[in-house]
Amino acid sequence: MLIESKWARVLALAAMLLAGCTSTPHRAPVEDRGPGAKVSIAASAAASAPVDATKPLPGVENAGKVGYYMVKTGDTLIRIGLDNGQNWKDLVKWNNLENPNIIEVGQVLRVVQPGVDPNGASTKPVTTARVETRPLDAKPGGPAASGPATAASGASVVSTATPPAPAASVATAASPAREGDDDVHWGWPSAGAVIAPFDDAKIKGLVLGGKAGDPVFAAADGRVVYAGSGLRGYGNLIILKHNNTYLTAYAHNQALLVKEDQSVRRGQKIAEMGSTDADSVKLHFEIRKLGKPIDPAKLLPPR
């Protein structure tokens, strides 16, 4: 009888414990994040829960309209700006973006300046200083075409202010105006030979060869809208905007000699050739018309 009484008490205690487990709510453990700071893991999980699917994404009411772009996976503002012929800083302003590093897949962005008809392109050139021309036999000693180059912010290499080599006058000779060029006078961005032609499916520009440190020149008058290494596959990159129609891109440089918002002139040294994000020293050069890559060889002057 004594043994049965003990077993009865044990079974009663076990029943009480089981009842407590089923009726007492489970409390999340606490994660220690430093002296005096304790954050519930449950709270952290709630903060990372999926966003309410019923909340509309910014700009979604403009989806499908001309002059707007829907963000896709992997997009950045720099890429969207390049693909639409715009300065990424303008996209920030036109779309009232608080943080340019945060855009959502499915979000719709304005990619045409407010007040401008997206069905028509304005091609007013960027205002720059007039290019001085002299006869080939002119005596040296005149004022330089541009001042010392400035190192781009964020560049990981040290740039120099060495004046362009004499060969620059040959490499950047301006082409005669052609119908449809929108009054942009083009010059070659490098003296290097073309080692890969334009291919709309693979190479969306020209690839020019050379050696590390060779000068890279602005192909036309314009303004720097990007100088950095934030676009995957391009390495140290410069993007120039020449007017509301044309952008040019200069990729894989070892040094960037200009900074954003700086005005440049055709033939000005803007970078040094390199191999950043590339398998060899080269210059990848693009001309984009309204964001669409076109064959630079059709616009550049004959060599």
Per-residue model confidence (pLDDT) at position 300: 97
Based on the domain organization, do 95 and 190 belong to the same domain? no
Whether 158 is covered by a domain: the verdict is no
Based on the domain organization, do 106 and 218 belong to the same domain? no
Per-residue model confidence (pLDDT) at position 58: 87
Q: Residue 64's domain is classified under what CATH number?
A: 3.10.350.10
Based on the domain organization, do 186 and 71 belong to the same domain? no
**What is the number of domains present in the chain?**
2
Report residue 166 as tokens. 């004499």
Based on the domain organization, do 294 and 183 belong to the same domain? yes
Residue 292 and residue 105: Cα distance in Å, rounded?
A: 22
Whether 148 is covered by a domain: the verdict is no
Whether 41 is covered by a domain: the verdict is no
Q: Is the dihedral of CA 55, 90, 86, 228 positive or negative?
A: negative
Domain boundary, last residue among 70, 85, 110:
110
Whether 259 is covered by a domain: the verdict is yes
Residue 248 and residue 286: Cα distance in Å, rounded?
A: 5
Based on the domain organization, do 75 and 182 belong to the same domain? no
Per-residue model confidence (pLDDT) at position 193: 96
CA dihedral 253, 219, 175, 205 (to 10 degrees): 60
Whether 8 is covered by a domain: the verdict is no
Identify the CA nearest to 286 among candidates 252, 232, 249, 256: 249
Q: Residue 282's domain is classified under what CATH number?
A: 2.70.70.10
Angle, alpha carbons 174-291-188 (nearest 5°): 20
237 close to 228: Cβ distance less than 8 angstroms: yes
Residues of the chain with pLDDT under 50: 17, 19-51, 121-181
223 close to 244: Cβ distance less than 8 angstroms: no
Give pLDDT tens digits for 146-201. Answer: 333 333 333 333 333 333 333 333 334 444 444 444 789 999 999 999 999 999 88
Whether 275 is covered by a domain: the verdict is yes
Based on the domain organization, do 172 and 294 belong to the same domain? yes
144 close to 195: Cβ distance less than 8 angstroms: no
CA dihedral 261, 198, 232, 159 (to 10 degrees): -50
Based on the domain organization, do 90 and 185 belong to the same domain? no
Based on the domain organization, do 189 and 277 belong to the same domain? yes
Whether 187 is covered by a domain: the verdict is yes
Based on the domain organization, do 219 and 106 belong to the same domain? no
* Residue 244 belongs to domain spanning: 168-298
Whether 52 is covered by a domain: the verdict is no
Based on the domain organization, do 180 and 94 belong to the same domain? no
Domain boundary, last residue among 110, 145, 180:
110
Domain boundary, last residue among 73, 95, 110:
110
Residue 181 and residue 165: Cα distance in Å, rounded?
A: 28
Three-class SS of the chain: CHHHHHHHHHHHHHHHHHHHHHHCCCCCCEEECCCCCEEEHHHHHHHCCCCCCCCCCCCHHHCCCCCEEECCCCCCHHHHHHHCCCCHHHHHHHCCCCCCCCCCCCCEEECCCCCCCCCCCCCCECCCCCCCCCCCCCCCCCCCCCCCCCCCCCCCCCCCCCCCCCCHHHHCCCCCCCCCCCCCCCCCCCCCCEEECCCCCCCCCEEECCCCCCEEECCCCEEEEEEECCCCCCCEEEEEECECCEEEEEEEECEECCCCCCEECCCCEEEECECCCCCCCEEEEEEEECCEEECHHHCCCCC
Per-residue model confidence (pLDDT) at position 70: 93
Based on the domain organization, do 184 and 282 belong to the same domain? yes
- Which phi and psi (to 5°) does residue 15 adopt? -65, -40
Per-residue model confidence (pLDDT) at position 272: 98
Based on the domain organization, do 214 and 92 belong to the same domain? no
- Which phi and psi (to 5°) does residue 31 adopt? -100, 125
Residue 8 and residue 2: Cα distance in Å, rounded?
A: 10
